[in-house]
């Protein structure tokens, strides 16, 4: 992976009410704890839930682990996101393909899968959509996201150190 400095991260799923706001909320807390100043945001490839708060099931599962992200509001990915963000992380293969289909060639290298950064779940590619399932799905989403967020934090810290040297 490129060691370019990373100052901003956008998390992307389909609706921007379950997986990507969870990743946003978890990662912003982890980054803050690590003392990293980053621009962090999330968005959906679809606009179904524009302006809506994260799904109450995501918020409840995350609150049990100490994360609060009721302040977030769903929005759709924009063309400007590809310019503004250094790293754009898709939750699943469909989100990844949908992003690449609209991303200008010069920015395609910014689009990756969230689980490329997972360390405990190395065999997994996708954070599965929990929307139509039960509470266990929301817990599993958080397991995967917490793991990948930690790996992402290590990756960014390393990239920032190598550009300073």
Mind telling me the catalytic residues? 13, 19, 129
In terms of CB distance, is 86 or 129 closer to ligand 4NP? Answer: 129
Pattern of binders to ligand 4NP over 57-96, x per CB under 6 A? ----------------------------------------
In terms of CB distance, is 6 or 12 closer to ligand 4NP? Answer: 12
- Cβ(11)–Cβ(23) below 8 Å: yes
d(CA 62, CA 53) in angstroms, rounded, equals: 14
Chain-centre distance for alpha carbon 98: 15
In terms of CB distance, is 6 or 145 closer to ligand 4NP? Answer: 145
d(CA 57, CA 14) in angstroms, rounded, equals: 16
| Count of residues near ligand 4NP by CB under 6 A | 10
29 Cβ neighbours under 8 A, 6+ residues apart: 66, 67
Task: Give the nearest distance from C-beta 92 to ligand 4NP in angstroms.
Answer: 8
Q: Does 50 bind ligand 4NP (CB under 6 A)?
A: no
φ/ψ (deg, to 5) at 24 = -60, -50
Q: Which two tokens stand for residue 49?
A: 């839930």
Please select the residue that binds ligand 4NP; options are 6, 18, 38, 88, rule is CB under 6 A: 18
Specify burial of residue 62 (Cβ count, 10 A radius: 0-12, 13-18, 19+).
buried
Q: Does 48 bind ligand 4NP (CB under 6 A)?
A: yes
Which positions touch ligand 4NP (CB under 6 A)? Answer: 13-19, 48, 129, 131
């Amino acid at each position: 992976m490129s060691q370019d400095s990373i100052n901003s991260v956008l998390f992307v799923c389909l609706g921007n009410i379950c997986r990507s706001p969870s990743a946003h909320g978890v990662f912003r807390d982890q980054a803050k704890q690590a003392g990293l100043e980053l621009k962090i945001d999330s968005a959906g490839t679809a606009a179904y839930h524009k302006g809506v708060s994260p799904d109450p099931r995501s918020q409840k599962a995350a609150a049990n682990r100490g994360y609060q992200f009721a302040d977030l509001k769903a929005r759709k990915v924009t063309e400007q996101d590809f310019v503004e963000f250094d790293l754009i992380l898709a939750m699943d293969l469909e989100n990844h393909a949908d992003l690449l289909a609209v991303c200008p060639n010069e920015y395609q290298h910014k689009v990756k899968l969230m689980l490329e950064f997972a360390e405990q779940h190395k065999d997994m590619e996708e954070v599965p959509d929990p929307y139509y399932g039960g509470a266990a799905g929301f817990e599993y989403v958080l397991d995967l996201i917490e793991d990948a967020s930690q790996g992402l934090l290590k990756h960014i810290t390393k990239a920032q150190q190598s550009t300073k040297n």
